[in-house]
């Protein structure tokens, strides 16, 4: 028996959309890029079955595949009951896709804000430490400025306390970088 392995995730979604085949729709549902893309693929699936009423009896398989694809986007919300008929699944998706998209966007905003706050904290602590070191030791050599710029906030905090106990720039910046 011979077989071929197909990595369905390697096919670009835009390329699959143009194929209008059951296999292409299967791949799109199995690897949706967003809640909106799974809704679009499910609509295409219903259209395909409408155009091929004598097609293969796999509607139940696609219903289950849609349920698995939806798990990825449900977030903290429980997944609604998946209807038995594909047409009903599409209607249910249309109701929930906008909410899931908003949730995903909100998570992205929150992650961006947290990253910005972390970067701002690091830059602020680096600026304070640099000023303290310049006041105590004069102009800083480039190696010291580079080390400060790359340091984590916890290391910068440690160095800003160490400046009170040591007598050389090298001693302040010894250890973690």
Query: Along the 177 residues of the chain, how does pLDDT read in single tens digits?
Result: 887 777 777 788 888 888 878 888 878 877 777 777 877 888 888 888 888 777 667 766 777 777 676 666 665 555 566 666 666 767 666 666 666 667 767 777 777 788 888 888 888 899 999 999 999 999 999 999 999 999 988 899 999 999 989 999 999 998 754
Same structural domain, 91 and 132: no
Residues 121 and 100 in one domain: no
- Write the DSSP symbol of residue 141: P
Question: Quick check: is 63 in a domain?
Answer: yes
Q: Identify the pLDDT of residue 80.
A: 60
Q: Please indicate, yes or no, if residue 107 is contained in any of the structural domains.
A: yes
Do 145 and 70 have their domain in common?
no
Q: Is residue 3 a part of any domain in this protein?
A: no
**Same-domain status, 105 and 76:** yes
pLDDT of residue 177: 47
Q: Are residues 151 and 87 in the same domain?
A: no
Quick check: 175 and 158 in contact, CB under 8 A? yes
Please report which helix (H) or strand (E) contains residue 155, including its range.
helix 153-162
Domain tally for the chain? 2
One domain, residues 82 and 13: yes
pTM of this prediction?
0.44
Find, among 102, 173, 95, the residue nearest to 133 by Cα.
173
Q: Which domain holds residue 19?
A: 8-112
pLDDT, position 70? 65
Shared domain for 100 and 120, answered yes or no, is no
Residue 27 is predicted with a pLDDT of: 81
User: Using an 8 Å Cβ cutoff, are 41 and 54 in contact?
Assistant: no
Compute the CA torsion angle 119, 125, 130, 135 (nearest 10 deg): 160
Q: Is residue 2 part of a domain?
A: no
Q: What is the pLDDT of residue 77?
A: 58
Same domain, 15 and 78: yes
Last residue of a domain, one of 112, 131, 149: 112
Identify whether residues 135 and 85 lie together within a single domain.
no
Rounded CA-CA distance 17/25 in Å is: 8
Q: Residue 135 domain-assigned?
A: yes
């Amino acid at each position: 028996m011979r077989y071929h392995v197909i990595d369905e995730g390697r096919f670009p979604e835009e390329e699959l959309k143009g194929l209008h085949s059951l296999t292409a729709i299967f791949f799109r549902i199995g690897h949706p890029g967003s809640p909106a893309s799974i809704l679009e693929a499910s609509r295409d699936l219903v259209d395909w079955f409408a155009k091929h009423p004598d097609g293969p009896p796999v509607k139940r398989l696609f219903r289950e595949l849609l349920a698995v694809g939806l798990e990825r986007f449900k977030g903290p919300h429980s997944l609604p009951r998946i209807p038995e008929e594909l047409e009903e699944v599409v209607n249910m998706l249309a109701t929930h896709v906008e909410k899931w998209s908003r949730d995903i966007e909100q998570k992205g905003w929150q992650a961006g804000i947290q990253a910005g706050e972390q970067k701002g904290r690091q830059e602020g602590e680096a600026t304070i430490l640099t000023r303290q070191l310049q006041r105590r030791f004069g102009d800083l050599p480039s190696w010291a400025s580079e080390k400060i710029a790359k340091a984590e906030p916890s290391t910068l905090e440690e160095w800003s306390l160490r400046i009170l106990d040591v007598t050389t720039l090298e001693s302040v910046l010894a250890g973690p970088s």
